[in-house]
Chain A
Amino acid sequence: MKPERLWTLLFALGAIFATGCFVYARSDADWWLVPNVSTIGREIDHLFVIILLITGIVFIGTQVVLCYILWKFPDAPGRKAEYVHGQMKLEVIWTIIPASILVFLALYQMGTWSKIKFRSSMPKVQPVAEVTARQFQWVFRYAGEDRRLHTDDDLITVNDFHFVKSEPTVIHLRSTDVLHSFFLPQFRIKQDAVPGLTIPVWFDSEQSGKFELVCAELCGWGHYKMRGNVTVHETQAEFDEWLKKAKSEQNRDQLALANAANGG
């Protein structure tokens, strides 16, 4: 083997490493998309996999061609390079094919995007909570028994978010100081919290259990620890019970929590 051909192997190694990472990732829960529990998350994962397949094929294709070229055409005495300046037909082909794939990809996303984020497709339900982000905590204000926010029987929790399984859940997202971002990785939901705006966000869960809320927008020195607990209750009754219990605790320890909520 000519020594120049070692370079083909180096570039092939890079491509194999990249492909291998994604192939292996599918089999390791620490590598793949964090396990999803929401219905929109399933759609998003589906779109992700579609893009991964298409880009994967394009990637492998170009790398194979590149490595073939490097293997096949190293300089050799007596061989002459082709003298061509281009070819219109090829140019047209490799413009039209990627263009149609890209337009397809863009259009294919639209349904999911509008379903998740457009105001018009927001589920017509009372918000379960008003979520106020501040440095460096999440403050949740739940409506009490009157089902209305900003009344005397509201429940306020810090870094503790509860909602009910299998029901479309709406929150109103605000911020009192700087930008934050409400990120539920297991639900594939992300929305920045913007001072001055109240942004409705909706999602649901197909599973009950404990999950995590992440702040995904840099918000200052404590950004990394702006973490919230998420609890999805199996039934509305279970949620109501928690709410009642939490409220009785809140009434015992009013002062500390009121301070926390003052920003809202």
Chain B
Amino acid sequence: MSAHAHDHGHDDHIHPAPSNFLTKYVFSIDHKVIGIQFLFSGLIMFWIGGLLALAVRWQLAWPWQPIPLLSGIWAEYGYRLPPEYYNKLFTMHATVMIFFVIIPLLTGAFGNFLIPLMIGARDMAFPKLNMYSYWFMWPSIILMSFSFFVPGGAAEAGWTSYPTLSTFRWSTSGALDGQTLWLMSLLFAGISSLMGSINYITTIIMLRAPGMKMFRLPMTVWAMFITALLQAFALPVLTSALIMQLLDRIIGTNFFSPANWMVANSGNVVGGGQILLFQHLFWFYSHPAVYIMILPAMGMVSDILSTFSRKPLFGYKPMVFSVSAIAGLGFIVWGHHMFQSGMNPALGATFMLSTMMIALPSAIKTFNWLGTMWGGRLQFTTPMLNAIGFVAMFVIGGLSGIFMAATPVDMHIHDTYFIVGHIHYVLFGGSTFAIFAGIYYWFPKMFGRMMNERLGKIHFALTFLFFNGTFFLMHIIGMHGHPRRIADPTVYEFLRGSGVVGMNQFMTINAILLGMAQLIVVYNFIYSLFFGPKAPANPWHANTLEWACPSPPPYYNFLKIPTVYRMAYEYSADDVAPRDYWPQDEPAAESKDEAAVGHSH
């Protein structure tokens, strides 16, 4: 038991808990507090992003009709939404959801809270860096919010911000100062993510408890680890692309303006740049970013499914290899966003092949999730339902991706609502259901109280129904040819039919109901925070290490650093029957002790 030799060293590291309010709750270096800070700010931004989306939906269903509650802002335009404002709405919806909601919730909130607890550490490797990582989000959020109030308003070049719409200041009103603020804001968000990712990588490599081999890590930690690697390798490219665009805008460089360029009777802009360069750089980050937004969700769902199936995770190692394969392939598929961009079509052919191949690890994971549930004793708790929702909906998001990967078919559906449907099945049907699953699952650990199960189930059922009502028909209108990012589809004759208009209205009504259904989880969350029944240390009878400490865990997490004897998925093992779980840190019975330590599945 050489592992025990480390124990003493770890135990020396208990620091006294901070006693004043500011260092305890605001500028905290405790990974749990920072995780919860990310959780709260992410959930608040979720409402902002969601309301922006509802305004977008309203305009699509009833173009130019006054938006309830909002239209007063545009009194001078006859209470109609100005079209450039529509562009701001969807630009900001995507920006907020991606950079301030899904990435911070998955990596910031769950990554921070769970990694040290799940690997048996007292905190992150760099607690101060962790604190900075959270507080670097705020300049980002403030700059982005402020951009609505500068001349010309917020950015409106889409979350992709392709030049030259984003670089030529005259091209649209959001390309005035709004775009500059957008770029600066994302630079801060990127630095925040990068600090987090360095911390996660170091922590997972260096601070695992004795006995916690890499292949004993829960899938959540594996996914966070791979995600952090993705961020560390991809973010520098985004950062340079953002800085290049910033320089083009501010000091007149020409990274993204073509040679000998002349616009609107102006003098020659001495260019020599390439517009497509930005798209390459942007997607070299942003395609991996899509996986940054889904891998942690996959990890969390794997753990939750195993717990509530009371069954070991099916194919743990294939799951780990799949996640790694997704991350690896994720770096050679960026061109599939650019099939119709003017990029050499021969490249399109190779990117099609790599893109098809990246569907494979996702398929393997799906089959393994089904295998995990097969023959289990399924407990339909709220976290489990949301995790099953993830599996069911992620299948749609994965399969619809194949249509876009096929370059000739992509010619028709590229930049239509088909892609909007696809991404929402991945990011809402996938990531968001996983976020809900994670909130319901780890809420007892975070706050020491249980959430209300009945309300949780009602919330899930309504969300599942209205989610499908909101997003599924996007595939249909997309394949019919409905372009994305247009303020008024009825401009086109082929979109004026009662079928298309009716579908747009149906989706909007569902979107409003979907938004209203979220009030249930807000109520449940806040009520349970104060009045929920006290949670025991291990309410779900789960195996991973976070359930070994009290709910909520003390400042130092573990009084004594646990020793890990087995994988996280020993459910329904005969060794401990009739009990159906076997925590990672529980020593085996005396006689089996030595065997258990060396035993790895």
Contacts and interface: CB of A to CB of B under 8 A. Distances in A.
A190 B411 contact: yes
A62 B87 contact: no
Contacts of B26: none
Contact of A84 (B271, B314, B340, B341): B314
A256 interface: no
A11 B406 contact: no
Contacts of B156: 220-221
A105 B356 contact: yes
Contact of B311 (A29, A59, A81, A214): A81
Contact of B83 (A29, A86, A116, A224): A224
A85 B314 contact: yes
Given A25-B476, A91-B318, A82 B352 contact: no
A18 B476 contact: no
B171 A220 contact: yes
A62 B366 contact: yes
A180 to B, nearest CB: 10
B171 to A, nearest CB: 5
Interface in B154-169: 156-158, 162, 164-165, 168
A194 B275 contact: yes
A188 interface: yes
Interface stretch (B12-20, B49-57, B384-392): B384-392
A254 B537 CA distance: 82
Contacts of A63: 392, 395
B310 A81 contact: yes
A66 interface: yes
Interface stretch (B128-136, B137-145, B287-295, B481-489): B481-489
A177 B164 contact: yes
A196 B352 contact: no
Interface in B471-528: 472-473, 475-476, 479-481, 483, 485-489, 491-494, 497-500, 503
A45 B262 CA distance: 40
B342 A83 contact: no
Contacts of A262: 265
A76 B498 CA distance: 49
B274 interface: yes
Interface residues on A, range: 35 or more
Interface string A111-132: 0111011110000000000000
A177 B168 contact: yes
B550 interface: no
A208 interface: no
A30 B499 contact: yes
B376 interface: yes
Nearest to B395: A62
A177 B414 contact: no
Contacts of B409: 44, 47-48, 51, 109
B45 interface: no
B373 A69 contact: yes
A220 B385 CA distance: 42
Contacts of B265: 262
Nearest to B86: A224
A177 B485 contact: no
Contact of A94 (B348, B352, B364): B364
Contact of A214 (B158, B162, B274, B483): B483
B201 interface: no
A39 interface: no
Interface string A68-83: 0110011110011111
A261 interface: no
Contact of B480 (A33, A74, A82, A95): A33
Contact of B342 (A185, A191, A218): A191
- Highest count of chain A CB atoms <10 Å: which of B405, B406, B479: B406
A72 to B, nearest CB: 9
Interface stretch (B240-248, B434-442, B568-576): B568-576
B461 A10 contact: yes
Contacts of B498: 30
Interface in B333-391: 340-342, 345-346, 348-349, 352-353, 356-357, 359-360, 363-364, 366-368, 370-371, 373-380, 385, 388-389, 391
A113 B263 contact: no
A191 B400 CA distance: 21
B363 A31 contact: no
B408 A185 contact: no
B164 A83 contact: no
A240 interface: no
A25 B474 CA distance: 12
A176 B87 contact: no
B572 A34 contact: no
Contacts of A181: 340, 415
A223 B87 contact: yes
B563 interface: no
Interface string B245-284: 0000000000001110101110000010011100000000
A224 B84 CA distance: 10
Nearest to B497: A30
A211 B167 CA distance: 33
Interface in B64-120: 82-84, 86-87
18 contacts: A14-B393, A55-B403, A59-B396, A62-B395, A74-B378, A81-B376, A82-B375, A84-B312, A95-B318, A95-B364, A98-B360, A99-B357, A113-B345, A190-B414, A195-B275, A220-B84, A224-B83, A224-B489
Given A10-B464, A220-B84, 15 more contacts: A13-B465, A30-B480, A40-B408, A82-B572, A84-B311, A84-B312, A95-B364, A106-B356, A109-B409, A114-B349, A118-B345, A195-B257, A216-B415, A262-B265, A263-B263
Interface of A: 4, 7, 10-11, 13-15, 17-18, 21-22, 25, 28-34, 40-41, 43-44, 47-48, 51-52, 54-55, 58-59, 62-63, 65-66, 69-70, 73-76, 79-87, 90-91, 94-95, 98-99, 102-103, 105-106, 109-110, 112-114, 116-119, 135, 176-179, 181, 183, 185-186, 188-192, 194-197, 199, 212, 214-225, 227, 262-263
